[in-house]
C-alpha cells in the first residue's frame, strides 16, 4: 500500500511539472559582433525579460546588421537586432538583398541609434574625412567583416570619395575586416590609421580604443551626409561629452545614424512575442537603464517603421497599451 502511495505521489509530481516545462519560451536572439553594443544590449534585455518572466530562456548569439535579416528569414533565429534601412530592404528584396524576406516582422523600433564613428589618432594630419581619402600615402582602415552595417556603410563612403579597397591596397595600405575587439587591438598597437565603427554611443570599443591611444572622431561633411541620406540613412550627431579621451569631445560631431530595431520571424509564436513586447513597454525605466543609447526610449516610437508589418504578438501588446488604435 505504501509503495502504491509513493508511486502515485511521484506520478503526481511528474504531471505537475509538465505544464511548467511546456510554458518555457526558448528563443534565440541574433545580435551583433562580440565586443559590440548590440551583443551587450541584447544580453541586458534578456536578463530584464527573464527577471520579469522566468519562463523566458533567451540565447544571445553573434550576428551583424545585414546578415541578421537573412538568418531570420531562413528560420535560424526567432528574433534579431536590425536597422530600418536593411529591415525594409530585406522585406522588399532591395539592395543589398537579392530576394524578398517575406517573413520579416517588426517587434520594436525606436531603441536609440547607432552612429557611424570615423576615428583617427589625435595626431593624424587629416582634419576631415575628405582629406583622409585625398592623401596619397598608404592608408590602413579597419571595420567589421562584410555582412554587417559597418562594412556596408564604409563601402558607400569609399564610393562617395571615388575610392575602392583595391585603390587603398595599391598604394601600400590595408583594409582590415575583423571583430571589434581585434579592431581595438590593431588601433592600440598603432597598426591602423582609421577605426570605422557603427555603434550606439558611447560605444565600448571606442572608449577602450581611445583610452589606449588618444583619438579624434572626424565629422561628416554635408555632401557626404546628403549622399548617405539618399540611401535611406539619417543624419545624427555624436553629442559633445560622449568620450572623455576623444580630443574633439568638446563639440557635437555630425555623422550618419540608424535606429536600433527588434524584428522577429512571422512564425515565432505570437504569445511569446506578445509577452516579450509587453514586458518591455511596461518597464520603460528598466529599458532605459540597459544602455545609455536607450535613455530616451518612448514606447510611442516603438511601432513606427514604414512598409514592414508588425508581428501579431507585438501588435496585440501595443493595442493593449493604447499605442495602436
Dihedral angle sign, alpha carbons of residues 135, 136, 137, 141: positive
Q: What is the DSSP letter of 166?
A: H
Task: Report the DSSP beta bridge partners of residue 25.
Answer: 56
Angle (deg, nearest 10), helices 204-212 and 180-188:
10
Residues composing the chain: 325
Confidence of residue 22 (pLDDT cuts 50, 70, 90): low
Distances (CA, A) of 51 to 1, 44, 56, 65, 239: 44, 11, 9, 27, 32
Please tell me the predicted confidence (pLDDT) of residue 19: 47
- Mean pLDDT on 147-170: 95
Instruction: Decide if 27 contacts 272 (C-beta within 8 A).
Output: yes
Task: Measure CA 101 to chain center.
Answer: 19
Dihedral angle sign, alpha carbons of residues 191, 193, 197, 201: positive
- Output the nine-digit C-alpha cell for 314: 507585438
| 227, containing H or E segment | helix 222-229
Within the chain, all domains assigned CATH 3.40.190.10 are found at 21-111+260-320, 113-258
- CATH of segment(s) 21-111+260-320: 3.40.190.10
Instruction: Decide if 312 contacts 270 (C-beta within 8 A).
Output: yes
Per-residue pLDDT reduced to its tens digit, 80-122: 999 988 998 999 998 889 999 999 999 999 898 899 999 999 9
Percentage above 90 pLDDT, the chain: 74
Per-residue pLDDT reduced to its tens digit, 202-228: 999 999 999 999 999 999 999 999 999
Dihedral angle sign, alpha carbons of residues 272, 309, 144, 249: negative
Top CATH class, 113-258: alpha beta
Whole-model pTM?
0.79
Q: How many CA atoms lie within 13 A of 207 on its CB side?
A: 13
Amino acid at each position: 500500500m505504501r509503495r502504491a502511495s509513493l508511486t502515485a505521489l511521484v506520478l503526481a509530481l511528474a504531471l505537475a511539472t509538465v505544464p511548467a516545462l511546456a510554458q518555457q519560451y526558448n528563443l534565440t536572439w541574433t545580435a551583433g559582433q562580440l565586443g559590440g553594443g548590440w551583443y551587450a544590449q541584447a544580453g541586458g534585455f534578456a536578463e530584464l525579460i527573464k527577471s520579469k518572466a522566468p519562463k523566458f530562456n533567451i540565447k544571445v548569439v553573434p550576428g551583424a546588421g545585414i546578415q541578421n535579416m537573412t538568418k531570420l528569414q531562413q528560420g535560424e533565429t526567432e528574433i534579431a537586432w536590425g536597422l530600418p534601412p536593411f529591415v525594409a530592404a530585406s522585406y522588399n528584396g532591395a539592395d543589398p538583398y537579392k530576394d524578398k524576406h517575406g517573413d520579416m516582422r517588426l517587434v520594436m523600433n525606436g531603441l536609440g541609434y547607432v552612429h557611424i564613428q570615423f576615428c583617427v589618432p589625435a595626431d593624424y594630419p587629416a582634419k576631415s574625412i575628405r582629406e583622409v581619402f585625398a592623401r596619397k600615402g598608404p592608408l590602413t582602415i579597419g571595420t567589421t567583416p562584410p555582412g554587417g552595417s559597418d562594412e556596408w556603410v564604409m563601402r558607400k563612403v569609399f564610393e562617395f570619395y571615388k575610392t575602392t579597397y583595391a585603390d587603398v591596397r595599391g598604394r601600400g595600405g590595408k583594409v582590415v575586416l575583423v571583430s571589434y575587439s581585434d579592431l581595438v587591438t590593431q588601433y592600440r598597437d598603432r597598426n591602423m590609421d582609421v577605426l570605422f565603427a557603427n555603434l550606439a554611443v558611447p560605444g565600448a570599443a571606442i572608449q577602450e580604443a581611445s583610452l589606449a591611444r588618444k583619438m579624434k572622431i572626424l565629422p561628416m561633411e554635408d555632401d557626404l551626409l546628403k549622399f548617405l541620406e539618399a540611401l535611406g540613412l539619417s543624419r545624427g550627431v555624436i553629442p559633445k561629452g560622449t568620450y572623455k579621451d576623444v580630443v574633439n569631445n568638446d563639440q557635437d560631431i555630425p555623422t550618419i545614424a540608424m535606429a536600433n530595431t527588434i524584428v522577429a520571424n512571422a512564425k515565432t509564436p505570437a504569445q511569446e512575442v506578445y509577452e516579450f513586447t509587453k514586458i518591455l513597454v511596461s518597464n520603460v525605466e528598466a529599458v532605459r537603464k540597459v544602455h545609455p543609447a536607450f535613455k530616451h526610449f518612448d514606447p510611442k516610437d516603438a511601432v513606427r517603421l514604414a512598409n514592414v508589418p508588425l508581428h501579431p504578438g507585438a501588435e496585440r501588446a501595443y493595442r493593449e497599451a493604447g499605442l495602436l488604435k
